[in-house]
Structure 1
Amino acid sequence: MPEAVPMLDSPVTSVEQADVVVVGARCAGSATAVTLARAGHRVVVLDAAPLPSDTLSTHLLWPAGLAELRRLGVLAEVEALDAPRLTRAYADGAGYGIESPFPAVDGIDYAMCVRRTGLDGVLARAAIEAGADVRPRCRVTSIVWAQNRCAGVRYTDRSGAVVEIRAALVVGADGRHSTVARSVGADQPFLTTPSGRDCYYAYWRDTTGNPRHTAAQWRHGADLGTAFPCDDGLVLSLVQPPAVPGRSGPGEAERRYTEAVDRIPALAARLRGCERVGRVRAATGIASYFRRSAGPGWALPGDAGHFKDPVTAQGIRDALHYGRLLAEAVTAVIDDPRALDRSLLEWERRRIVECRDIFHWTNRLARGEAMRPLEIALYRSAATDPELARITTGIFSRTRRPAELYTPSRAARLVVDAVRDQRANTRAVLLDLALEIRTGARNWFTDRTALRGNTPPLPPPTRVRRPTPTVPESRATRGR
């Protein structure tokens, strides 16, 4: 059940009217706001943080993510931030290196790694230029309900005043710890998979001569590490060692990051001569999930509704993509509650169905264990088979499906190769094959149950008496 909304200590100082309130001004929120504002709707965007500002993010943009920026009309401005174009993908596992170009998406055949302060600044400016009213340092405290419909929000502005905005649609683009999700009772996922990895990253001042056109990933033992050249002459290096529950405290992130880098010889060599810039950032206790993401008058794009472990770097693309699609789905029906709710449910189903494959693929890579025999056989084959390498890179770029790697003929060849390579330990290959069969069956069942796209309805919200506004409704957001 959604939480009861408590009485506010402070009276409401003003009531405003908008078509849409977007909570969160980063990737999903800005994509939604830009698209709706350009369509002529009155959009207010609220964000608790100052803008622009940094946020926890690995911020690699595959070609599909850059294509979304182009659709929003901001790719040129993002490129002006001077992050290098990454034209090659390199993955190394068990000593086998796979290199391939990126598949083109709408003519874009390169990736970029852009720090979030610059990227989010570009997106916020685009929302303002489109006509949205973007308000930083404004913290949403509760949802306004009307006859079991979400009808707006209340927030505290930077001066401490309590403001109410009534709107036909509230978009919760406020991340994994979403206030909107909690307020509508959707904060508990209907499907969740804990990650087997923790995540730590830091920036390094790159040295002359390092390959600044390559996005690289290494697997060594149970550890995973990356090096992504980014803007300002930096390289983002992320490590994902196996998760260690309950380990935190001063210096823990620094220690685990440094130890993981040292355990990955190729990553340590890539960073040799580079100077660390700033502190180590950490994300631990990670879980991938799907939350119920649409209901009467509300929707949850971005991480508020669906999150995948950062091991596949899908978050920004999906936030931009499904934020834009949400806006396109509702723009013609904002004033028709029944049609609006149908469109929201169709949008929610679409995201679930389209993200199932990459969700399972991400959870596979997030298991936090050493490479198994069949995975080693795949790397060994892809190192000499350009088509396999292209499929692998295409999965991350969302132009190919994981099933293309595991056709019956390819799967059989991988088993034969693994047995040939592991003659002294055939049992390990057979156990790995059994695990793959069980995992495939479990994913098939999940797709036809929890991820079939027909999510169960939420219970009606619990409502309590609310304080009466002390001032008449403002027209601040009527027209532009």
Structure 2
Amino acid sequence: MELWGGVILKTYDAIVVGARNAGATLAAYLGKSGLQVLLVDRSFFPSDVISTHTIFNNTVETLRDLGVMERLLTDDAPPIGRTRAQFNDAVIEGQMPVYGEEADSYCFRRTHFDKVLLDFACEQPGVTAVEGFRVTDLLREGDTVVGVRGQDREGNVTEYRARIVIGADGRNSIVRKAAGAVKKTSTPSQYASLYAYFSNVEQMSDEVQFELYTREIHRAYLFPTSNQQVCVVMQVPLCETGWIERFKREPEQAIRDYYKVYFPRPSERIADAVMEEPLRGLYSYENYWYEGMGQGWALVGDAICFKDPGVGQGMHDAIFGARMLSELLAGTKDWEQSWQMMAEQYQTRIENEFMARYHQAVTVTQVAPLTEQDLGAFQLIASSPLATEKFLGFFNYTAEQEDLGAVLQTLLPAGN
């Protein structure tokens, strides 16, 4: 167990379980607001984690507001200004709409991203971090959570107490389970989401871009990331058990063959590329929402909501959700008398913010061939710069589905 960034207290204002993007962001904001925060994680940093990587420019604005963006830019992950989305033969391509004053998006490796955020959080007044500490249970007084019990790598058991315990500990959140958070909705995915890092990938053009490919029920993505590498992504239908077994048995050859069969042009660009690290990803996951707060506890990031990686919203949700929760806590004087009010406000705000992308993820997570109507809509979007802007703007919150629909209505022939 490693302690740094502060001193151990008898009681904190907040214990944040999970020190990656959601937890470190939350701890930094809470520390800036004058609260005493204990940030714990079972891992040591830097370390890697399964991730979608994508940080669109709306999230960049939040990170710049936090004060950490310049440090993140010490990495060599390239700024990404364009997105190319291809559905069969329909190609939608354009600049990602500017968000505020931010034009660039990024795809940082998590080894860099999480470590920078953790270091930054620990520099804030009142924030203490303990690495290598695994929370095993919550402490309670009556119906209220008042702390955590856990152990370090040597098996030493320690208890810490706080006014609130916040689970930023991911899809398999121990805080969520121990708190008894109610699941509000869930939809199992019909895809496996897999990826690997490749070097020496031939670029499509001089301008760096996100690339999204769909061929009927098969999907692939190319995201330029750190270390002059590309994150090569596959979304593979679980019903295609032959492919699933191949990815498990011979992952590198399966990647190359999957691209060759369904995405021949990108396949040519990875033909001479070198797979730098083992295949990783998720073979089984669900899209879900949980209640986000109760007496003495709250959830943030993947602990409260998880969306299919195909919509690329996980990093945003973790960071923006952390900011929302920090604003609620910092703006409420008497937590002990306000749990129900805070829980209702938090749930309402976070659902209002994220639910449209959740519904999109529930659609994306189902195996369904592209229809003629789908392809016609994509062709129509591709024909219009304004429709393209609204389509891409859904990813970075500069547009909603209704905005795209309104533009498409103006493009349809009279009588349709």
TM-score, normalised by the number of residues in structure 1: 0.79
Could you say which structure has the higher strand fraction?
2
1:270 equivalent in structure 2: 269
From 33, 40, 56, give the equivalent of 1:39.
33
**Distance of 2:281 and 2:346 partners within structure 1:** 32
Q: Residues 73-112 of structure 1: matches in 2 within 5 Å?
A: 73-112=67-106
Q: Does 1:260 align with 2:262?
A: no
Instruction: Give the Cα separation in 2 of the matches to 1:107 and 1:336.
Output: 36
Q: 1:179 aligns with which of 161, 174, 195?
A: 174
Q: 1:214 to 1:250 in 2, by over 3 A?
A: closer
Residue 245 to residue 295, structure 1, CA distance change in 2 (3 Å)? farther
Identity of aligned residues (%): 27
Please name the residue that 1:122 is paired with.
116
The one of 43, 66, 71 equivalent to 2:65 is 71
Quick one: higher RCO (CA 8 Å, sep 6+), 1 or 2? 1
2:56 aligned residue = 62
How many residue pairs align between the two structures? 403
User: What pairs up with 1:265-304 in 2 under 5 angstroms?
Assistant: 265-304=264-303
CA RMSD of aligned residues (A): 2.3
Give the conservation status (yes or no) of the 8 Å contact 1:200–1:253. Answer: no
Aligned-partner residue type, residue 261 of structure 1? Y
Shifted more, 105-114 versus 236-245: the winner is 236-245
Distance 1:408 1:35, change over 3 A: closer
SS at match of 1:328: helix
Aligned to 1:307: 306
Report the CA distance shift for 1:411/1:253 in structure 2 as closer, same or farther (over 3 A). farther
What one-letter code is carried by the residue in structure 1 that aligns with 2:84?
Y
Which AA in structure 2 matches 1:153? V
1:408, distance to aligned residue in structure 2 (A) = 9.5
Q: CA deviation at 1:335?
A: 4.6
In the alignment, is the contact (CA less than 8 A) between 2:202 and 2:270 conserved in 1? no
Residues 219 and 225 of structure 1 are in contact (CA less than 8 Å); yes or no, is this contact kept in structure 2?
A: yes
Q: Deviations over 1:291-336 (max 9, x none)?
A: 1111011110000010100001100011000111101111243653
Structure 1, gaps ≥5 residues long: 1-13, 418-480
Task: Give CA-to-partner distance per residue, 1:419-457, whole Å, 9 cap, x none.
Answer: xxxxxxxxxxxxxxxxxxxxxxxxxxxxxxxxxxxxxxx
For residues 149 and 413 of structure 2, the distance between their equivalents in structure 1, rounded to whole angstroms, comes to: 57
SS at match of 2:101: coil
What amino acid maps onto 1:36 in structure 2? L
CA deviation string 1:446-477 (max 9, x = no partner): xxxxxxxxxxxxxxxxxxxxxxxxxxxxxxxx
**Residue 409 to residue 134, structure 1, CA distance change in 2 (3 Å):** closer
Cα displacement string for residues 315-371 of structure 1 (whole angstroms, at most 9, x for unaligned residues): 001100011110111124365312354223311221112212111112222222321
Tell me the amino acid that sits aligned with residue 267 of structure 1.
Answer: P
Name the counterpart of 2:399: 400
3-state SS in 2 of match to 1:84: coil
Once the 2 structures are TM-superposed, how far is the Cα of residue 252 of structure 1 from its aligned partner?
6.2
Does 1:146 pair with 2:144?
no
- Cα distance between partner residues in 1 of 2:414 and 2:112: 46
Q: Does 1:368 align with 2:363?
A: no
Aligned pair in 2 of structure 1 residues 341, 135: CA closer, same or farther (>3 Å)?
A: farther
1:157 shift after superposition: 2.2
Q: 1:253 to 1:42 in 2, by over 3 A?
A: same
| 1:226 has 2:232 as partner | no
**Structure 2 CA distance, aligned partners of 1:224 and 1:287?**
18
Aligned position for 1:323:
322
TM-score by length of 2: 0.91
In the alignment, residue 289 of structure 2 is paired with which amino acid? Answer: F
Deviates more, 1:304-313 or 1:155-164: 155-164
Cα pair 2:31 2:37 within 8 Å, conserved:
yes
Q: Deviations over 1:27-64 (max 9, x none)?
A: 11111100111111110011011112100012111111
* Cα pair 2:252 2:275 within 8 Å, conserved: no
CA drift at 1:232: 0.8
Partner of 1:435 in structure 2? none
Q: Distance in 1 between matches of 2:70 and 2:93?
A: 27
Change (3 A) 1:93 1:200: same
Q: 1:411 to 1:140 in 2, by over 3 A?
A: farther
1:195 to 173, 176, 189: 189
CA, structure 1 residues 386+408, in 2 after alignment: closer, same or farther (shift >3 Å)? closer
Separation in structure 2 between the aligned mates of residue 190 and residue 372 of structure 1, nearest angstrom:
31
Aligned to 2:249: 251
Residue 241 of structure 1: SS of its match in structure 2?
Answer: strand
Q: Distance in 2 between matches of 1:210 and 1:93?
A: 17
Q: Does 1:238 align with 2:233?
A: yes
Q: Distance in 2 between matches of 1:45 and 1:96?
A: 47
1:237, distance to aligned residue in structure 2 (A): 1.1
Among candidates 208, 213, 232, match of residue 208 of structure 2: 213
